[in-house]
Amino acid sequence: MTAKAVLVTGAQQGIGAAAARALAAAGHDVAVNWLDDRAAAEAVAADVRAAGRRAVLVQGSVGTATECAAIVQAALDGLGRIDVLVNNAGIFPRVPFLEMTEAEWDRVLDVNLKGSAFCAQAAARHMVAAGRRGVILNLSSSAVRGVPLGVHYAATKAGVIGLTRSMALALAPHGIRVNAVAPGLTDTAQPRHGNTEDELATMAKALPLGRMGRPEEIAGLLVWLASDAAEWITGQVYHMNGGGYMA
C-alpha cells in the first residue's frame, strides 16, 4: 500500500483513535487532531510511532472555518502534505426537541457539518494546489433514520451525506475522491452518554448480528477507502450497523 499522509479529526478517542492506529498499521503517517484530552491523544500518537510511522499532534476544535484551516495547516506543517482527510470529529449532546435551544442547534451544526465542510475545503485546496490526488472520508451515522433526542445530530449526519455526494462531484475533476461511512451502534463513549449498560445490551441484541460494532471495524473500512484499491469509488455512503439498517 502506498504510504500516505493522513489527518484524522477527533482522534483522541473512539472511532477517530481507532482510525489513526489502523491507518498507521497500514503504513501511513498520521496527524492526530485532539480537543481536550492531550494524554489520550499522546497515547494514540505513541501507537502510531510504534507502528513505525510519523505522528503529529494537532490540537483544536473544528467549530469554525478559521479553526478548520488552522488544523489543516498544522497537519501540513508537521507532515509536509495531506493525502487523506478523515472527518471524524463530532458531538451528540442529547436534548428533547421541544427543549432544544438555538445555541444547542448551532453548536452541533457548527462542529458536525460546518466542521466537515471546511476541513474538507482546506485540505482539498492544498491537494489541488499541489496537483495531488487525494481522499476525503466523512463520518455520517445510522442516526439519519431519526433519533428523538438528537434532532440536531440527525440533521447534521444527513447533511454529511449530501455534503459527501456534492463534494465528490465538485472535486472529481481534481482527482479527489469523497466517500462517507455511516456507523450504527458502536462500542465507544458516545452511546454510553445517555444510555445505561443494560440499555446498550438490549439495543445490541436487537441487531441482526446481535452485538455492537467495534471502532476497529469502522476503522478497517476507512483504511480500505483511503487506499488505492478504492480508487474508482467516490460519492458513496457505506452503512455499517450489524444489519440494523439495510440501505
Residue 223 contacts residue 23 (beta carbons within 8 Å): yes
Residue tagged 458502536 (cell numbers): 186
| Distance of alpha carbon 223 from alpha carbon 19, whole angstroms | 7
Residue 30 makes CB contacts below 8 A (sequence gap 6+) with 6, 7, 8, 11, 20, 23, 24, 45, 48, 53, 54, 55, 56
**How many Cα atoms sit within 13 Å of 225 on the Cβ side?**
27
Residue 237 β-bridge partners: 180
Residue 15 contacts residue 219 (beta carbons within 8 Å): yes
| Distance of alpha carbon 202 from alpha carbon 21, whole angstroms | 30
Q: Of the listed 121, 153, 212, 218, which one is catalytic?
A: 153
- Nearest CA among 231, 223, 218, 219 for reference residue 175: 231
Q: Is 238 a catalytic residue?
A: no
Residue 116 makes CB contacts below 8 A (sequence gap 6+) with 62, 87, 138, 139, 160, 163
* The pairing of beta strand 5-8 with beta strand 134-139: unpaired
Q: Which of the residues are catalytic?
A: 153
